[in-house]
Chains A and B, each alone.
Chain A
Amino acid sequence: DSGVTQTPKHLITATGQRVTLRCSPRSGDLSVYWYQQSLDQGLQFLIQYYNGEERAKGNILERFSAQQFPDLHSELNLSSLELGDSALYFCASSASSRGTGANVLTFGAGSRLTVL
């Protein structure tokens, strides 16, 4: 158990639908990252939050949005789903913005989304 909790583990839905993926970071970590990993592909950075505020955006589609709440958990919302959105979505957390540990990412087990 990495300490980063993601729910749900698996999700099957239909095209056009909307889903929400949830992430609880490791205790004490202020930063949350979201990544998308399609089958046999690399890790595509979507978005990063730090202590409730958006810090950086990657290749995140307009149909996707995210937020980090005061208790530091984060949610990734995916809407108007398409077949190509089927992927493994990882959340990762890191410590505060200072110190060498700040850049070390601890990943959750991922949420596998299947769009039919």
Chain B
Amino acid sequence: GQQVMQIPQYQHVQEGEDFTTYCNSSTTLSNIQWYKQRPGGHPVFLIQLVKSGEVKKQKRLTFQFGEAKKNSSLHITATQTTDVGTYFCAVINTNAGKSTFGDGTTLTVKP
């Protein structure tokens, strides 16, 4: 089945530093989504990217979809302690019955 590789597995940063997680696929993706799971919580949808080269921003978070639609990244500028959690990329296609999550990147932030 379709697989998405996500790196790094863990990232420890000092508060105020930037953070980036990457998601890569060997095949072209129809869309990619990002979810955040806080410690002890459940995954929460952040954003969906559909178009080649798409860039979307949510405050300090910047999401990119590669030109070839085979990779994506999530960048957080000036991390805060509220950013801690695990960030997952995912490829979901309800109609086609596809559901693949990356292994996630766990972010810890030192105050």
A residues in contact (CB < 8 Å) with B: 2, 31, 33, 35, 42-43, 45, 48, 50, 55-56, 58, 90, 92, 94-95, 97-98, 100, 102-110
Of A2, A97, A107, A109, which contacts B94 at CB under 8 A? A97
- Which B residue's beta carbon lies closest to that of A93? B94
The residues of B that contact A108 with a CB separation of less than 8 Å are: 42
The residues of A that contact B101 with a CB separation of less than 8 Å are: 35, 42-43, 45
Q: How far is the CA of A102 from the CA of B100 in the complex (A)?
A: 15
Per DSSP, chain B at the interface is strand
Known: A100-B48, A104-B33. 14 other contacts (CB 8 A): A2-B44, A31-B94, A42-B102, A43-B101, A45-B99, A50-B94, A56-B96, A56-B99, A90-B43, A103-B33, A103-B94, A104-B92, A105-B45, A107-B42
The answer to whether the Cβ of B97 comes within 8 Å of any Cβ in the partner chain is: yes
Q: How far is the CA of A55 from the CA of B98 in the complex (A)?
A: 9
B residues in contact (CB < 8 Å) with A: 31, 33, 35, 41-45, 48, 50, 88, 90, 92-104
